[in-house]
């Protein structure tokens, strides 16, 4: 079974950990629009693509016994390196040296013993743009602080997607979208034109994993239907929505089939990898 996860950040990393429990053919397609924190500082300094979400997703599929995997998330806390992780520095160093985002990601994946594939959603770094009731907003960090978001787009508008990422979606049996920040992680990956087209054309079952809680202000006050409508507005139509039984969304109506399951960990704040794997496996029966 060929499975693909699309999105960014911690949410897609969780999806990848779940998918590797049910398949040996796993691909992550990851947004490179982030411009906050360590990633933002490195983008501003070196003019490279965002690597933070790629780092998280590489770690999700890496060999846990690999020494680099163990230190990949180590974050420095002194001097000019404060706030930077080993993984971010390694990735931007390779990108700066080679000038090739995808080649650098694959080199790190090989060294870390990654099982499966991780591809950036676009072949170059992109800037996230949003239209809101307050006016246009530019940059992932600023968009995340916005409310009443209407439409998301990218700069450059026609950023190319890696052909390998497009083909992975086209060949997939299952595509998991999310969880994660709806506009700034999930849709940010999906609106790369090649990714949008591949998601529209694939015969795979497309499963949207709903967030456990609203994310304020980005999706403050959103219903489950609002989340789905935003995806559809941006060219992504899920076949199934997976909702945690403890979430308020579990009691809401949605125009797309909702499957309610126990998906959250003990604190109800993050998805449980084992539970998510079990729920996703059930969708393939």
pLDDT mean over 90-108: 93
Q: What is the pLDDT of residues 151-163, one digit of tens each?
A: 999 999 999 999 9
In the predicted structure, residue 282 carries a pLDDT above the cut 80: yes
In the predicted structure, residue 285 carries a pLDDT above the cut 80: no
pLDDT at 47: 83
* Cα atoms in the Cβ-side hemisphere of radius 13 Å centred on 274: 2
pLDDT mean over 74-83: 87
pLDDT at 160: 96
In the predicted structure, residue 267 carries a pLDDT above the cut 90: no
pLDDT at 81: 84
Q: What is the pLDDT of residues 117-173, one digit of tens each?
A: 999 999 999 999 999 888 899 999 999 999 889 999 999 999 999 999 999 999 999
pLDDT band at 37 (very low <50, low <70, confident <90, very high): confident
pLDDT at 83: 86
pLDDT at 190: 98
SS (H, E, C) the chain: CEEEEEECHHHHHHHHHHHCCCCCEEEEEECCCCCCHHHHHHHHHHCCCCCHHHHHHHHHHCCCCCHHHHHCCCECCCHHHCCCEHHHHHHHHHHHHHCCHHHHHHHHHHHCCCCCEEEECCCCCCEEEEEECCEEEECHHHHHCCCCEEEEEEECCCCCCCHHHHHHHHHCCEEEECCCCHHHHHHHHHCCHHHHHHHHHCCCEEEEECCCCCCCCCCCCCCHHHHHHHHHHCCCCCCEEEEECCCHHHHCCCCCCEEEECCECCCCCCECHHHHHHHHHHHCC
More confident residue, 89 or 40: 89
Q: Residues of the chain with pLDDT > 90: what percent?
A: 81
Q: What is the pLDDT of residues 203-213, one digit of tens each?
A: 999 999 999 99
9-13, 41-45, 120-124, 135-139: which has the minimum mean pLDDT? 41-45
pLDDT at 256: 94
Domains and CATH numbers, the chain: 2-283 (3.40.50.10680)
pLDDT at 163: 97
Q: Write down the mean pLDDT value for the chain.
A: 94
In the predicted structure, residue 240 carries a pLDDT above the cut 80: yes
């Amino acid at each position: 079974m060929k499975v693909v996860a699309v999105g960014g950040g911690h949410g897609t990393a969780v999806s990848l950990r779940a998918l590797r429990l049910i398949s040996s053919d796993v691909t992550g397609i990851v947004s490179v629009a982030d411009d906050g924190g360590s990633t933002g500082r490195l983008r501003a300094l070196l003019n490279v693509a965002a690597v933070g979400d790629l780092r998280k997703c590489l770690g999700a599929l890496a060999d846990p016994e690999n020494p680099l995997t163990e230190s990949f998330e180590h974050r420095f806390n002194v001097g000019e390196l404060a706030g930077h992780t080993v993984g971010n520095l390694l990735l931007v160093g390779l990108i700066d040296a080679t000038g090739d985002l995808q080649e650098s990601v694959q080199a790190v994946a090989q060294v870390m013993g990654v099982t499966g594939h991780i591809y950036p959603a676009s072949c170059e770094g992109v800037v996230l743009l949003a239209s809101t009731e307050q006016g246009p907003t530019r940059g992932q960090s600023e968009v995340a602080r916005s409310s009443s978001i209407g439409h998301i787009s990218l700069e450059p508008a026609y950023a190319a997607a890696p052909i390998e990422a497009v083909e992975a979606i086209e060949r997939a049996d299952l595509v998991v979208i999310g969880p994660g920040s709806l506009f700034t992680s999930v849709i940010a990956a999906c609106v790369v034109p090649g990714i949008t087209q591949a998601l529209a054309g694939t015969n795979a079952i497309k499963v949207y994993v709903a967030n456990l809680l609203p994310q304020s202000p980005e999706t403050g006050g959103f219903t489950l239907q609002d989340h789905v409508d935003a995806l559809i507005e941006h060219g992504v139509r899920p076949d199934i929505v997976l909702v945690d039984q403890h979430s308020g969304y579990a009691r809401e109506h949605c125009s797309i089939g909702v499957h309610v399951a126990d998906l959250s960990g003990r604190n109800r704040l993050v998805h449980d990898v084992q539970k998510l794997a079990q729920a996703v496996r059930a969708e393939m029966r």
